[in-house]
Structure 1
């Protein structure tokens, strides 16, 4: 019991000594200098000199590309190798949206019969000179017909 009492008193003396050392350190001047007060911040914008030009040179204008028509954009989408001709492979290679419309039995497989029935006839009817290649004018005939809009909102 006596040891515990002596240990408690020693702990109190050590805590008091630490407190005195801490207070003594607080009264000493700091070795780190205080930062200077911030300069007055001006809300004014900088002004140009008297000999400065009023305006700089204008930016260069980009060249204007000619606006392509809807049919030219559509033709260029199919003409993958840019030879100004659409082959049967080029036309069918990018027609993924129409795949479901061509797949009549909905098995996610397009048979030759399904494909030939829908697109072969369309290609053959557009190919006026029967050379198995579509020119721009021939290709314009393959465009799907847009449905007529109703005249009124009834």
Structure 2
């Protein structure tokens, strides 16, 4: 019981001290410092220039990973970022295209399945087999347009 009473008395003292500090800090008017003057405009001609053979300090910064165009297309469909595109993630109007891409029929599209189909599409468009697509060859990779569905 003595420990409880001592703890309660300690809490009351701490609350009282906090109240006095709060009231004391509220009553003080602390002037805000004046804002510094705006920086002077510097003429770009007088800025120092680095020499061509100047030493660099430290290692070169690492280059950021830039995903390929196919990886960006794949990531557009992979909404939850688990490296697998499910049927729900694919647009509902694309179920036939999904079935064609899903080679093993498990309703999951891996990046490898996606890349194989794209590689096959590239090989089909590369008529002369030089691993380069001309504008004419690239034009053949465009999806066929369907007639507009108009309820006019």
TM-score, scaled to structure 1? 0.31
- Structure scoring higher RCO (CA < 8 A, sep ≥ 6) equals 1
TM-score, scaled to structure 2? 0.31
